[in-house]
Amino acid sequence: MLVAPPDDNDVAEYPEAAMEGCMCNANDAESEMSWKCGNEIYVCPDVQRICDTQGSVNSVYYSITQTQCDDMKAIEINQECIPLPQHGITAPKDLSNRVCYKNVEHGLGYHGMKNDGNCEACKDSFQNNALKGDEEEEEAMEAPNYTRGQNNNKM
């Protein structure tokens, strides 16, 4: 017997359908990701563009190491993020959203897929100019429209 998958109107009736259809969850080893932890946005090293709705007005974007990226992939929404000692973040906030980036063929679109408990494709993105560690921080701060303590969002 063939059963049609629930459509968007059926999500209230079948809440598990929303997450089964979401291609941006914890422990996704195939995606590069970025995460929002309070006002800090953690960005994996290979992320080229960042979803434009991930941050908020006061968000600051930080480049993290591949090891930190791998550790963050296991964090679930509402769990505490990892510390980033190279950026002075020793008391991290809880994870409020993640964005997964793959190529278009994997169904995440060009700008990524955002998961904050609900999944949605990002409609736009901007160039990743996240702050690096101490030794690379000066260079990152010279990027256009990017200053420590300010956001990198268009909003």
> Is there a domain that residue 110 lies in?
yes
**pLDDT for the residue numbered 110:** 76
Boundaries of domain holding 84: 30-141
CB of 72 closer than 8 Å to CB of 33: yes
**DSSP-based helix, strand, coil % in the chain, nearest 5:** 20, 25, 55
**pLDDT for the residue numbered 107:** 53
**pLDDT for the residue numbered 131:** 79
Residue ranges of alpha helices (H) inside 57-143 are 66-72, 134-141
Burial class (CB in 10 A: 0-12, 13-18, 19+), 9: exposed
> Is there a domain that residue 133 lies in?
yes
> Is there a domain that residue 65 lies in?
yes
Q: pTM of the full predicted structure?
A: 0.71
> Is there a domain that residue 82 lies in?
yes
CB of 39 closer than 8 Å to CB of 62: no
Rounded mean pLDDT for each run of 10 residues along the chain, 155 residues in total: 36 36 85 95 93 92 96 97 96 96 64 91 89 52 36 44
The count of structural domains within the chain is 1
**pLDDT for the residue numbered 20:** 46
**pLDDT for the residue numbered 38:** 96
